[in-house]
Every structure is written in C-alpha cells, then in structure tokens.
Chains A and B, each alone.
Chain A
Amino acid sequence: MSIAADQARRPAAERGLRPAMAELHTWGGLLFGWLLFAIFVTGTVSYFRDEISLWMRPEIGQLTATTPEVAADAALRQLGEDSVGVRRWMIDLPTDRTPVTSVLVLRDPKTGPAAMRLTLDPASGAPIKVRNTAGGDFLYYFHFDLYMPQRFGRYLTCTAAIVMLVAFVSGVITHRRIFKDFFTFRPRKGQRSWLDAHNTLGVMALPFHVMITYTGLITLLPLYLPWGIEAMYPDGRQKFVVEMFDDAPPRKPLNVAAPLAPIAPLLAIASAEWQGGTVGRLVIDNPGDQAATIRLVRQDSERISHAVQSMLFDGSNGALISKTPVIGAAAEARGIFHGLHLARFSDIWLRWMFFISGVVGCAMIATGLVLWAVKRRRNAATVGHKIVDALNVTAITGLPIAIAAYFLCNRLVSAASPGRTVWEVGCFFAVWLIAGLHAAIRPQRAAWREQLWLAATLFAAAPFVNAVTTGRGLPRSLMNGDWVFGGFDLTALATAALFAMSAVYYARHGEAAA
C-alpha cells in the first residue's frame, strides 16, 4: 500500500481542517438533505400561502379589500346575529393580499360547534360559501410541523436547521476557491457541473440561506431552547406568552348582557397610536356580555418586525385597558428575525425575490444530493447507494409531484364533499408515497426521466383543470387583471416548463450528467 493511500485512509479530522469539514458537510448534508429539501420547498411555496389559499377557494371571487372600518362594521353586524354562547370572535380584516374577512368563532360546545370558520364578503359581511380546504396553510404547516403528531416534527425541523447552519459553515470552509469560482458554472461536464452548480447556488444567495435558517430557528425558539423560560418563569409559561406575544388570557364572562361598544372610534384610536398604522385583526372575547373585551392587533405587513402591537379595550364601554408596552432590544431583535423569516412585510417585488432565493436554496440542496450520488457512481450497485438514489428521486421530483397532485385534487374533488380536506391531504401523501415506491422499483435513469415528465405534466395540467372546473381560467384571469389566479396558473406553467426542460436535458445529456 502506498503512503498516499494510507494517508487518505486516516480519519478526516487528522488530515486537516478542510477534509474534516468536507466530511462533516457531506454526511450531514446527505442525512438531512432530503428533509431539508422538503422544508425548503414547502417554505418557498409558503411565501405565496395567502394566494394559494385563495386559488384553492375559487368561490371567493375577485374582490377588492375595503377599509378596516367598513369591514369590521359589516362583519360585526353579521356575527351579531348569532352570538349566543360565543366565547371569542377572531376577525382577520381584509388586506390587499386576502380581500375577504376571515372569522374564527369559538363558542361554548353546548350551544353549537366549538370552532367554526367563516369567510365573509368584506363590504357586506355576507358569508361566502367556500369549499372546505386546508389551502396554502397545509403546505405552510408542513414546512415546520412536518404533519407529525405532538411537536415531534418541529423538533426535527429545529435539528435540521442546526445541521443546515453547520453545513453552511463547513461548506464555506471547504470551498477553497470561493472567490475564484464565484461565477464559475461549466455545464455538461458531469460531476464537475453538479459541483459548480451546488457551489454557485450556495454562494450567490448565502446571506439569504444563512438568514432564513437562523431566523427559522428563532421562530421555534420557545420549543428548542425552553430552559431559560422554564427557569425564569417558574410560575408557568403563561406569563412568558403574555410578555412575548402580548396575549393576556380572556376574562370570565359575567353573564350580564351588554351591547358591544362601537368599533369605529376604537379603530381610529389604534391607528393614531400606531402613527397611521392599520388594524389587521380583531379579537373579541365574550361578545354581548358585560365582561367583553376587544383587542385590536396591528396588521403584520406594515413593519419588518413581527412583534405584536395591540391595544386592549373594554368591550362594553370602549375604555382602554392596556396596550403593548415598548419592548427591549432583544425582543425587538427577535421580532425582526421572526419577521424576516415570515416575510409578511414584503410587497410583490420583495415576495418574488424571496421566492426566487428560496428556489435557489432548493436547487442548492438538490444539486448537493445528486452530487453525492454522482461522485460515488462506482458504488452504485450497493444497497446503501440504491437507497440514496431512490430517496433523491423521491425528494427532488416526488415532492413537487405530490404538491401538484394536492392542487389538482382541490379542483377534482367536489366542492360540497364534506371530508374533502382529508382527500386533499391524503392525496398529497399517497402520491408522495407512490412516487417513492416508483423510485425504489424503477431503474435510476427511468425513475428520473419518468418523474421529471410526470411533474411537468401535472403542473401543466393545473391551469387546464382550473379552467374547466371553475371557469376562472388563465385567459379570463389575464383579461380581468386577476393576478392571484393568473399568477398561480402562470407559475404552474413555468414550473412545468422547468421540469420539462430538465427532462429533455436529462434525456440528452444523461451520460454526462451521471
């Protein structure tokens, strides 16, 4: 055995910093890459969560948002007709992105359903009969909850985020030619191309990637590092929640009827307090009771910081009870980190920039996973390698296929069907599972080819199925300036084109790519 071969077999840590970091990056990246890809894809899609939810509820026509005063007034008139036993109304006022009033009604189970969601026309308050769907919220919650019981999914996401940050640090340390290779992308050169792509995609959006990962951890801070909270709030977490989210528990009802104070003056007071800011949400506890309270929460799209700004009023006489105190530097920093992650402060330009950066992140992870497999092509026959290959396909093409199926299912399952949410979510997981089985059974090249084409077909089908089942097809959307529906359909077509181009490229250059 030559000396060089012996050197190469020494543990990476002994060979120096770069080989050690390369090994950490490679193995950490592989083991968590599939999960991180799923998190990144659903997260990127969630930048347009509101728009997706609107597309999946086509019964909501092309509405224009009204002023908060009009919407609040109309909503309260509508809700006032059925306020027996109601414990809380949570009223999300219409915004430019979501031009409907959304209400969550919580009531005493003895008087009706414990929780009920309503969608109201912003101007008249009339309920709109929308199909039962999870909408964009399913993909949003999957992004950090992973649809797992208890909070297991969130713990897993936190761990994945830590590994992602480790991958960034180790990746940058390993990337010797990070400045020289900044713009280098040499296509059609096999493994070299995959490495170039992985490197450039990582470096060009490095600020975004590090920011989104760290801020993601911040959003799950009370879960992952709860020890400080446990120690400093020994009398219970409730006090922490109150301090951080300005969310006091509701008062007990007095069971003395009293009309709700007029809302318009309260909206004006809040707007003045927030220097012209807009009310985004009303939380009304015990409406119609003398112990009613009205909380006005500021719209979260007006500032980068996601720290809550709210004012609490007495519901029967409109007197101010409390308002959010001035918060300290750490709380403001947390608010800004959280706000940067959710990006709810973005206008359409910024939102698309975040979306594109997210896609770059997904592509970075995907090229990394493929690079891992391509680099070890000579071990392709081993069981471990076959598992990696199958998981790569399941993640990179399987998940997009499942998402497309979720959207198609929304249109194909009848709007009146009571259990349709189960159908939609079940369809997502069933299709993903089938994609995984397909990837496991089919030879690798066939698996990639077939799933790339399937992804292209399903995404291309979405606008057509939309047009046929709802009559709000792409041509009509473009003529009416309906950018929610038009934008969704166009993005679906662009995604289909991307997968189709990848399929063609793979067919032509498959040898070189592998």
Chain B
Amino acid sequence: MIALAFALTYTGWAALCFAMPSHARSLRGRPFIQPIVVMLRCIGTIALLVALPVTAQAWGWPNGTTAWFGILTIACLGLIILLAANPKVALLPLVGLPAAAIIVLLR
C-alpha cells in the first residue's frame, strides 16, 4: 500500500513534468501535442490526489495525510534527481505503478 502511494505520486509528478514543453523536449526532442498535454496534466493531478486515500488506508486519515505530504516531497525529489541525470532514466520508476497495483490487488 505504501509502495502504491509512492508509485502513484511518482507517476503523477512525472506526468505533470513531461506535460511541460521544456521537459518533453529533453525527453523526445519536441513537446507533446496539446490534447496529450491536457491528458498528462489530468492523469498527473488525479494520480497525486488518489495517493491521499491510499496513504489514509495505510496509516489512517490523520497520519496518512501527513504521510501524503512526505511522499509527495520524496517522489518529487526522486524525479528531479533522475531528470537531471537523464530524462529517459526518469521514466524507469513508472513500472512501479502497475507492479504495486498488482501486489495490492492480489492481497
């Protein structure tokens, strides 16, 4: 569940990040077309918000809300570090989302 929260926030930040023209350019040479940008922004925002009930499930609402802020920070930090190293490497942790989701569903 905690892993799912991390995976969701990382995905959310990554989506919001690559919706931006400058970061998309560093990844694929040119920005995404506008409909894709809108979709990425929606997915990103939803992923970040959905992480909140996930943390609430893991820790309860009071501690979970606090944890949510912490996970947002750490996932953002991770993304920025990987992004600065190599934008393509920054995509690797995205596999964590389906993996974490499967683990949670199987429990």
Contact = CB atoms under 8 A, between A and B. Distances in A.
Q: Do chains A and B touch in the complex (CB under 8 A)?
A: yes
A465 B67 CA distance: 35
A183 B70 contact: no
Interface string B62-98: 1100110111011011011101100000000000000
Given A186-B84, A204-B80, A304-B63, A353 B74 contact: yes
Contacts of A347: 59, 63
Contacts of A340: 66
Interface residues of A, number: 25
Contact of A360 (B13, B69, B73): B73
A454 to B, nearest CB: 26
A349 interface: yes
A187 B84 contact: yes
Nearest to B13: A183
19 contacts: A180-B22, A182-B16, A183-B20, A183-B79, A183-B83, A187-B84, A200-B80, A207-B73, A208-B69, A303-B62, A304-B66, A346-B66, A349-B2, A350-B63, A356-B70, A356-B74, A357-B70, A357-B73, A357-B74
A204 B83 CA distance: 14
Contacts of B67: 349-350, 353
A118 interface: no
Contacts of A304: 62-63, 66
B84 A207 contact: no
A200 B77 CA distance: 9
Interface string B1-41: 01000000000010011001011000000000000000000
Contacts of A187: 84
B62 to A, nearest CB: 5
A353 B71 contact: yes
Interface of A: 180, 182-187, 200, 204-205, 207-208, 303-304, 340, 345-347, 349-350, 353-354, 356-357, 360
Contact of B23 (A183, A200, A349): A183
B13 to A, nearest CB: 8
Contacts of B74: 353, 356-357
Contacts of B63: 304, 345-347, 350
Interface of B: 2, 13, 16-17, 20, 22-23, 59, 62-63, 66-67, 69-71, 73-74, 76-77, 79-81, 83-84
A180 B20 CA distance: 8
A356 B75 CA distance: 11
Contacts, number: 63
A207 B74 CA distance: 13
B58 to A, nearest CB: 9
- Among B71, B77, B79, chain A packs the most CB atoms within 10 A around the CB of B77
Contact of A353 (B62, B73, B76, B80): B73
A183 B81 CA distance: 9
Q: 8 closest A-B pairs (Cβ-Cβ)?
A: A353-B70, A204-B76, A205-B73, A185-B84, A183-B17, A207-B69, A304-B62, A185-B80
A347 B63 CA distance: 9
Given A183-B20, A360-B73, 4 more contacts: A182-B17, A183-B23, A350-B70, A353-B67
A201 to B, nearest CB: 8
A435 B80 CA distance: 33
A353 B96 CA distance: 19
Nearest to A354: B70
Contact of A183 (B2, B66, B71, B80): B80
Nearest to A207: B69
Contact of B77 (A180, A204, A350): A204
Contact of A356 (B16, B73, B79, B81): B73
Task: Identify the interface centre among B13, B17, B23, B74: most chain A CB within 10 Å of its CB.
Answer: B74
Task: Count chain A CB atoms within 10 A of each CB in B17, B69, B73, B80 and give the residue with the most.
Answer: B73
Contacts of B23: 183
A186 B67 CA distance: 29
A463 to B, nearest CB: 25
A187 B59 CA distance: 37
A183 B77 CA distance: 9
B101 to A, nearest CB: 20
Nearest to A188: B84
Contacts of A200: 80
Nearest to B69: A207
A204 B9 CA distance: 13
A183 B15 CA distance: 12
A298 to B, nearest CB: 16
Contact of A350 (B13, B20, B59, B79): B59
A182 B41 CA distance: 14
B15 to A, nearest CB: 11
A350 B60 CA distance: 12
Contacts of A180: 20, 22
Contacts of A205: 73
B84 to A, nearest CB: 5
B70 A208 contact: yes
A183 B84 CA distance: 9
Nearest to A183: B17
A350 B59 CA distance: 10
B63 to A, nearest CB: 6
A21 B46 CA distance: 34
B26 to A, nearest CB: 10
Nearest to A345: B63
Contacts of B83: 183, 185
A340 B70 CA distance: 13
Contacts of A356: 70, 73-74, 77
